[in-house]
C-alpha cells in the first residue's frame, strides 16, 4: 500500500506526542476526493487537536490534525471534480475526526472542497486558510448588518491568525482600524498590516466594564471572547455590529441587555468551519478579488518537521500572523 508523510499524534503513556510518520493512503470512497496537499496551515484548533482529547477537538488517536489544506485532486469519485483540479478544503470534520492537512494526502467528501480561484495561488490560499475565511466572514457579516464607517472598527486578538487578517482586510476597505493585543512588542507588526491605533489588552481592560460605555467604535471583530468581548459590546455605536468567532479569553459572556435594547447593537456569531460550501466559495471569491490582501510578509512557512515547535508557540500565545506548512520537501 502507498503511504504519505504526516504529522501523526499518538498517545504514549498518557501523553500525546506528535511526530512525522508514514501513513497509508486509503481506498477512495464514493463521492470523495483524494488530494495531494501542497500547503496547509496551523490554527489554534489544530494545536488543541494535537494536545489530546482533553481539549474537546479530537477524541480518537492516532490522528493527523489540520483543518486547512490546498492541493491537486489525484483521485475523484465525484462528478464535481476531475483529476488535476486545484481545490481548497477548510473546516467541517477535517482535522477533528477526519485525518487533516498535516499530511501530504487527504481523503475527504467532495462537497467539502472548493475550487481554487484562478487568481489565487495555493500558497496565497493557505496564507489565508480558515483564519482568513473566518476574518472575511466576520467582516462581511458586520458590514452587511451595519457599521458606522465614520468611526473606527475594533479588532481583538489582532496579532493572531484571524485578527491579523481582519486588520489587513479592514485597512484595504478603507476603515480606520484599532487593534487590541496582549503583546507589547508587536506595534511595528500591527502598524505594518494597517492598524491605525494599538491598544494593549491590559490598558483596554484597566477600567471596570460598564453596561454602557462611551460609544467609540463603529463595529468590531472579536476573536477572543470572554470579558474582552463584553467590554467591546459596551463601546459599540448605536445600530452597529460586533462579530464573535473565538473563545481563547473565555467562554462566558458577562454583559447586560442594555447595548442591545438601548443602542440596537447586534452580536453576530461566526462559524466558518461548518458554513455551506457555497458560502465559503463566495468568501474565497472576495479574498481572491476585491478583498485580496498580500499576507506574505505576515506569514511564516515551515515544514512538517517544524510543526511540533510551532504548536508550542501557538499554545503559549506567541504566534504572530499566519503559519503555513509546505508539503513535499
Range(s) within the chain of domains with CATH label 3.40.50.720: 130-272
Looking at every residue in the chain, the average pLDDT score rounds to 95
Range(s) within the chain of domains with CATH label 3.90.180.10: 3-116+295-326
Residues 67-80: what's their mean pLDDT? 97
Length of the chain, in residues = 329
- Fold topology of 130-272: Rossmann fold (3.40.50)
- Return d(Cα 327, Cα 303) in angstroms, integer: 7
> What is the model's pLDDT at position 290?
97
- Return d(Cα 213, Cα 220) in angstroms, integer: 15
Is the peptide bond between 62 and the residue preceding it cis, with omega within 30 degrees of 0? yes
The phi and psi torsions of 196 (rounded to 5 degrees) equal -85, -30
Tell which wins on pLDDT, 316 or 170. 170
pLDDT at 94 over 80: yes
pLDDT at 70 over 80: yes
> What is the model's pLDDT at position 329?
66
- Return d(Cα 250, Cα 209) in angstroms, integer: 16
Cβ contacts of 111 within 8 Å, gap of 6 or more: 31, 80, 277
pLDDT at 79 over 90: yes
Query: pTM higher than 0.85 for the full model?
Result: yes
Helix (H) or strand (E) holding 109: strand 105-109
- Return d(Cα 100, Cα 68) in angstroms, integer: 7
| Class of the domain covering 3-116+295-326 | alpha beta
Where do the H-state alpha helices sit in 13-61? 44-49
Q: Is the dihedral of CA 78, 79, 84, 87 positive or negative?
A: negative
Amino acid at each position: 500500500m502507498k503511504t504519505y508523510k504526516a504529522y501523526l499524534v499518538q498517545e504514549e503513556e498518557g501523553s500525546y506526542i506528535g511526530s512525522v510518520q508514514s501513513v497509508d493512503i486509503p481506498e477512495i470512497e464514493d463521492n470523495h476526493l483524494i488530494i495531494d496537499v501542497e500547503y496547509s496551515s496551523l490554527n489554534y484548533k489544530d494545536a488543541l487537536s494535537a494536545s489530546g482529547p482533553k481539549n474537546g477537538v479530537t477524541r480518537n488517536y492516532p490522528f493527523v490534525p489540520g483543518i486547512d489544506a490546498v492541493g491537486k485532486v489525484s483521485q475523484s469519485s465525484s462528478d464535481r471534480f476531475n483529476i488535476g483540479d486545484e481545490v481548497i478544503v477548510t473546516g467541517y470534520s477535517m482535522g477533528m475526526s477526519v485525518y487533516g492537512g498535516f499530511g501530504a494526502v487527504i481523503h475527504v467528501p467532495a462537497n467539502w472542497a472548493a475550487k481554487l480561484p484562478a487568481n489565487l495561488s495555493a500558497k496565497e490560499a493557505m496564507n489565508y486558510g480558515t483564519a482568513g475565511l473566518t476574518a472575511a466572514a466576520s467582516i462581511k457579516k458586520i458590514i452587511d448588518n451595519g457599521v458606522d464607517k465614520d468611526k473606527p472598527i475594533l479588532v481583538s486578538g489582532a496579532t493572531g491568525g484571524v485578527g491579523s487578517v481582519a486588520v489587513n482586510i479592514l485597512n484595504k476597505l478603507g476603515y480606520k482600524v484599532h487593534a487590541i493585543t496582549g503583546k507589547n512588542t508587536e506595534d511595528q507588526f500591527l502598524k505594518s498590516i494597517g492598524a491605525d491605533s494599538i491598544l494593549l489588552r491590559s490598558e483596554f481592560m484597566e477600567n471596570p466594564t460598564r453596561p454602557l460605555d462611551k460609544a467609540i467604535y463603529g463595529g468590531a471583530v472579536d476573536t477572543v471572547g470572554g470579558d474582552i468581548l463584553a467590554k467591546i459590546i459596551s463601546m459599540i455605536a448605536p445600530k452597529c455590529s460586533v462579530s464573535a468567532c473565538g473563545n481563547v479569553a473565555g467562554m462566558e459572556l458577562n454583559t447586560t441587555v442594555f447595548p442591545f435594547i438601548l443602542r440596537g447593537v447586534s452580536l453576530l456569531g461566526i462559524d466558518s468551519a461548518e458554513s455551506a460550501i457555497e458560502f465559503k466559495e463566495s468568501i474565497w471569491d472576495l479574498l481572491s478579488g476585491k478583498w485580496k490582501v498580500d499576507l506574505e510578509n505576515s506569514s511564516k512557512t515551515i515544514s512538517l518537521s517544524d510543526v511540533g515547535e510551532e504548536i508550542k508557540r501557538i499554545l503559549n500565545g506567541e504566534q504572530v500572523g499566519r503559519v503555513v506548512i509546505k508539503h513535499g520537501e
